[in-house]
Amino acid sequence: MVNIIVCSVKDSAHKIHRKHIAETAGCDYEYIRIDNSENKYGLCAAYNEGVERATGDILAFVHEDVFIITPKWGQILETKFQQDNAIGLIGVAGTQYLLKDDPFWVAAGRPFIKGRVVHEMKEENRCILTVFSEEEIDTEAVAVDGLFFAVRKELFDTIRFDEKTFDKFHFYDLDICMQVRKTHKIVITSDILVKHFSGGAFKEEWKIQGKKFIDKYRNKLPVSCTDEKPDPKNRIPFDSLPLETVLSPQAYTYIKNLGNEVYEQQQVKTTVKKQYGDIIAVTGMHRSGTSAVAGLLGKCGFSLGSEDNLLNRNVPKFDNRKGHFENINVVLINDMALKAAGGSWCNLPQQNDINSKGEILKKHITNFDYTFEGNIVKDPRLCLTLDLWKQYCSRLKYVLICFRHPLSVAQSLNKRNTFPVEAGLTLWYEYNVRLIDNIEHTPVVVVDYDNLMEHLEDDFFDILRVMQSPITRDEMKKNISGFFEKELNHNPIEEKDTESLPEDIKELYATLKSQAISVRMGR
């Protein structure tokens, strides 16, 4: 069990923080609040009281203004401590080198400082991503930033926060690290990302406490866990990036609002629930009926997950009158993959470049796999990224491919995005041929969207049978009544239009039609 120990000064902030921990911890935990509303404690004294009250085997010390972005972070901590008995303390930011005469933990600069943290810049009404190091691997360190760190409970048989020396709110973190490293490793992990509402206060009191730290450890500083030594004359600082430049608008809004009292009711819920069984990926080229098919499945007992996590809360738009039925996190992950490979949904990078981004996307897809509450994910970009999802999403069991006449797609893209028809045809070919290359060893259902519009009940009931849905045909008819509208197809195609297609596109279209469920079922 993880004990979360928080020194709390404000009741309203405490309620929000406690609720946030309940939604994100993802493990058995106990929340221990040290009420410091009357300013009775220094942080060392508060944390010592928390240790005495704790019964778990892992103690996580968290500031009240720190919110954990990563879901199931408690399980991540438990796994890391279980896998390596030499680890005594885990933090999210820290250093491999503490200088002899400068107690600031970032003083050594790069490459010694590690981790990354999102900081709220209240004055500027924005968030920044503070990148102490680029690498995304666990790294040994000598000290951590105290905003968030976890320690094995058993270590407190021999160590203790030094409340006599450090009686205010600084250097409790470096001091406890100096004690832990006598017997155990200290590790910085990039697998847990946190948001902090403060960049730290380095005023006169900090300087006083810093002098106490240097005096206490004068004969033991500097400390290092690396053979390299920093060059004070050529110190390389960390980077600070505007968060909105590296995230989608939806993800940025979620993180920016995280922990803000005024936005509490609007927060995207990340409550970790039990897994909901196998995941079915609905994909196909844009404008090929993926939204309609995902919506129909949602009407017949398959879960799309929390509405809060659907793109724009699935409010219908001009280009999708019923909604897009796209999970924000799936879209974000796929956009990250395409951007990391040097492209976008309409400017396709090389497939090998996308497939090579596994290390970047692994933890995001794995976290989604653990926390997604539903069993339907829909995104046309999965045509391009499916190989990564097959590797890291253990629940992914089926792929439902929607295809539509290439000229219908090209004309629809021309109307929506002003793409030349020739460019739309090229995209149709690339999406579908790459999807076919990516589906090896995966159960697949192929849906001819044009045929589905004409034979909805037969084709869709066949889909439900393949997906092992228990509902009857009559139940299906009742559930989907009024959802599917043939008149939404604004680009009808005649047979002569197929003959005018380029040969490679015509051949691929014929291949897809031969594999459609309507054909496979003998209709």
Mean pLDDT, the chain, integer: 87
Which of 257, 287, 387 is CA-nearest to residue 334? 387
Statement to judge: residues 283 and 348 lie in one domain: yes
Statement to judge: residues 225 and 299 lie in one domain: no
Domain total in the chain: 2
Q: Summarize pLDDT for 49-104 with one digit per residue, the tens.
A: 999 999 999 999 999 999 999 989 999 999 999 999 999 999 999 999 999 988 89
- Percent of the chain exceeding pLDDT 90 equals 59
Statement to judge: residues 398 and 501 lie in one domain: yes
Tell me the pTM.
0.53
Helices 503-515 and 421-438 cross at an angle (nearest 10°) of 50
Which of 51, 86, 65, 62 is CA-nearest to residue 162? 51
Statement to judge: residues 14 and 149 lie in one domain: yes
| pLDDT the model gives residue 293 | 93
Residue 256 belongs to some domain of the structure = no
Statement to judge: residues 187 and 293 lie in one domain: no
Q: Summarize pLDDT for 157-188 with one digit per residue, the tens.
A: 999 999 999 988 889 999 999 999 999 999 99
Does residue 262 carry a pLDDT above 50?
A: no
Does residue 17 carry a pLDDT above 50?
A: yes
| pLDDT the model gives residue 486 | 58
Statement to judge: residues 17 and 132 lie in one domain: yes
| Residue 419's CATH number | 3.40.50
Does residue 271 carry a pLDDT above 50?
A: no
Q: How far is CA 73 from the centre of its chain?
A: 12
| Residue 14's CATH number | 3.90.550.10
| pLDDT the model gives residue 442 | 86
Q: How far is CA 468 from CA 108, 165, 256, 461, 520, in A?
A: 59, 66, 41, 10, 17
Q: Summarize pLDDT for 65-80 with one digit per residue, the tens.
A: 999 999 899 999 999 9
Residue 387 belongs to some domain of the structure = yes
Residue whose entry in the numeric block shows the structure tokens 């499945």: 297
- Percent of the chain exceeding pLDDT 70 equals 90
Residue 432 belongs to some domain of the structure = yes
The Cα angle at residue 396 between residues 394 and 398, in degrees rounded to 5 = 150
Statement to judge: residues 237 and 368 lie in one domain: no
The Cα angle at residue 157 between residues 35 and 27, in degrees rounded to 5 = 60
Statement to judge: residues 292 and 194 lie in one domain: no
| pLDDT the model gives residue 366 | 87
Which three-class secondary structure state does DSSP give residue 69?
A: coil
Q: Summarize pLDDT for 325-341 with one digit per residue, the tens.
A: 888 889 999 999 999 99
| pLDDT the model gives residue 315 | 62
Expressed as residue numbers, the domain containing 36 is: 2-247
Statement to judge: residues 296 and 191 lie in one domain: no
Does residue 38 carry a pLDDT above 50?
A: yes
In sign, the C-alpha dihedral spanning 503, 504, 509, 511 is positive
Residue 31's pLDDT band (cuts 50, 70, 90): very high
Encode burial over 324-353: b for 16+ CB neighbours within 10 A, e otherwise: bbbbbbbbbbbbbbbeebebebeebbebee
Residue 264 belongs to some domain of the structure = no
Report which of residues 511 and 203 the model is more confident about.
511
| pLDDT the model gives residue 264 | 45
Residue 492's pLDDT band (cuts 50, 70, 90): low
Residue 257's pLDDT band (cuts 50, 70, 90): confident
Does residue 263 carry a pLDDT above 80?
A: no
Which of 200, 228, 247 represents a domain boundary (last residue)? 247
Residue whose entry in the numeric block shows the structure tokens 């199931």: 72
Mean pLDDT of 216-230: 93
Statement to judge: residues 337 and 454 lie in one domain: yes
Q: Which two tokens stand for residue 471?
A: 């509902």
Does residue 297 carry a pLDDT above 60?
A: yes
Which of 226, 247, 268 represents a domain boundary (last residue)? 247
Statement to judge: residues 128 and 191 lie in one domain: yes
Residue 274 belongs to some domain of the structure = no
Residue 499's pLDDT band (cuts 50, 70, 90): confident
**C-beta of residue 418 within 8 angstroms of C-beta of residue 276:** no
Residue 273's pLDDT band (cuts 50, 70, 90): very low
Residue 319's pLDDT band (cuts 50, 70, 90): very low
Q: Summarize pLDDT for 511-521 with one digit per residue, the tens.
A: 999 999 877 76
Residue 112 belongs to some domain of the structure = yes
Q: Which two tokens stand for residue 495?
A: 């047979």
Statement to judge: residues 216 and 333 lie in one domain: no
Residue 239 belongs to some domain of the structure = yes
| pLDDT the model gives residue 281 | 96
Residue 361 belongs to some domain of the structure = yes
Which of 431, 437, 445, 435 is CA-nearest to residue 515? 445
Mean pLDDT of 418-436: 94
Q: Summarize pLDDT for 431-480 with one digit per residue, the tens.
A: 999 999 998 888 899 999 999 988 899 999 999 988 888 899 999 999 99
Which of 227, 247, 267 represents a domain boundary (last residue)? 247
Mean pLDDT of 110-116: 94
